[in-house]
Structure 1
Amino acid sequence: MQLLLIDDHPLIHVALRALLADQQPPVTVHSAETSAQAREQLATHPGIDLVLLDLELAGQDDGFALLKELRDSHPSIPIVNLSGSNEMAKVIRAIDQGAMGFIPKHSAPEEFKDALLLVVTGGIYVPPMRMNDDPSTLRRRADDHLPKPPAPAPVAAPAPVSAPAPRTQIDRLPITPRQQEVLRGLLQGKSNKVIAQELKISADTVKDHIAVIFRVLNVNSRTQAVLAVGQWTED
């Protein structure tokens, strides 16, 4: 596997290589400390399988802008955000903008490796989120970027979020088999266009199915759907 790490701290690059040194199959880590270097690495190494992006790059006014740029220019490469915090509003915004994972830098090594494996195999990783923000402040931050989430907040549980959910859990939802397929595509971060192409249906039909899925899950965004489904537990 080829991995691109975009982080302006050299020690993070050294630590990641050491952490993944014994990984099987082997992992090749390409390094970039700036957005310009990241673009160069992606152009030089077209086989990159995963991007780890620090949201707090020095000189990068908005790490979310770089996230959007990379999602638009390389839609097939999953992106996992790294951050010094697990603030709820930041996690939700990253997933809403297309990140397939969000890993705090204080994560334990095995948790870090498990999160990467989950994303590489098609899942979405969300960490336990910091819940001690003042509610009004948190609401203002989230409302700048997201629809207001339903109550109770689906991120209250401390367990990591993974997607897609087990097939038996999705099968229990009161939706059609086609809507189950749409939901699985949604949980994998696929766009409406890609889902439509894969299922050989129109984009408008996908929108209709997603509207039903949102009503059943009592959510109003893709991010909320991912978080809601991710909180399910095995029976």
Structure 2
Amino acid sequence: MKVLLVDDHPLILSALQGVIKGLGSDVSVTTAASARELRQRLSEDADYDLMLLDLQLGDADGFEVLTEMRRDHPALPVVVVSGTDRAADVLRAIDLGAMGFVPKRASNELLFEALRLVMSGGIFVPPVSAGLGGPAPAAHEPAPLLQPRLQPSAGAPGTSGGLPAVPNVAGLTPRQNEVLGKLLQGLPNKLIARELNLSVETVKDHVAAVLRVLDVSTRTQAVLAVSRMQQSAAATTPPTRY
């Protein structure tokens, strides 16, 4: 696997390079310290399997570089690696075509998880930005996406990321909630169809219905919406008395 790392900080480049090489003996890593160097690398060889892109480059805005990459190299998966994990930045990056967003303070294990998910066709969103713990959004950040209501689900098992295996969002059918659960796991439509024994077209219809009920336009926004509904529900649930 050929990976292209783009970051203007030498220490970050070195650290990421070490982590990526730990994925396997067949992994080769090329680095670029600027947008200009990135373009030069791609002009010499555009056959990469994955790109990790910092948003804070000295010679260009990371979001503009991301837009350029998705336009000129649409088959190359891009994972944003950023010093921030604000929900607004995560949403913007994913909406511009990034396949994942990993905060620089993330652990090696989280980075491995993100890269495995992206390479399997999924989209990775950091748990903190999805509203799974951590401080509440600052006042200047966008308001939480809380249009639909998350029904209480007694004894629903959670995943390692804190999301239920099968959510129970008001306005969705049981099957649509199942599809939403698979979306929250980052599964692409083909895998959802296989796991639920549905056709891909039926899954697409269910996904469209889920996004419509959640009043969002992307899968990442759906993850953020559901996780924030859970956080809101947990905050309003009175503590258990013994």
| TM class by smaller structure | 0.5 to 0.7
Cα offset for 1:23? 2.3
Which of the pair has more CA radius of gyration? 2
State the alpha-carbon separation in 1 of the partners of residues 100 and 3 from structure 2.
Answer: 14
Q: TM-score, normalized by length of structure 2?
A: 0.65
Deviations 1:2-22 (A, max 9, x none): 111110011222212222333
Structure 1: any 5+ residue segments left out of the alignment?
143-147, 191-198, 201-205
1:116-158 Cα distance to aligned partner (Å, 9 max, x none): 11111112111112544433x112xx8xxxxx8334799xx99
The change in CA–CA distance for 1:65 and 1:24 in structure 2 (over 3 A counts) is same
* Aligned 8 A contact 1:100 1:189 in 2: no
Cα separation, 2, equivalents of 1:73 and 1:28? 22
Specify the alignment match of 2:101 in structure 1: 102
1:134 paired with 2:135, answer no
Change (3 A) 1:28 1:151: same
Counterparts of 1:37-56 in structure 2 under 5 Å? 37-56=37-56
Answer whether contact 1:78 1:119 (CA < 8 A) is retained: yes
Q: CA RMSD in A?
A: 4.0
Report the counterpart of residue 203 of structure 1 in structure 2.
Answer: none
Q: Corresponding residue for 1:224?
A: 221
- Maintained 8 Å contact 1:126/1:160: no
Seen in structure 2, the aligned counterparts of structure 1 residues 159 and 22 have a Cα distance that, compared at 3 Å, is: closer
Counterpart CA distance in 2 for 1:28 and 1:97 is 26
Of all paired residues, the percent bearing the same amino acid is 38
Q: For 2:215 and 2:57, how far apart are their aligned partners in 1?
A: 32
* Equivalent residue letter for 2:18: A
Q: Report the alpha carbon displacement of residue 47 of structure 1 after superposing the two structures with TM.
A: 1.9
What is the distance in 1 between the residues matched to 2:89 and 2:43? Answer: 28
Q: Which residue of 2 aligns with 1:149?
A: 145
Shift in Å, 1:26 = 2.1
Segments of structure 2 that go 5 or more residues without pairing to the other structure are 151-157, 190-199, 231-242
User: What is aligned with 2:90?
Assistant: 91
The amino acid across from 1:111 in the alignment is: L
* Contact 1:124/1:161 (8 A) holds in 2: no
Deviation at 1:90, TM superposition (A): 1.1
Give the conservation status (yes or no) of the 8 Å contact 1:7–1:13.
yes
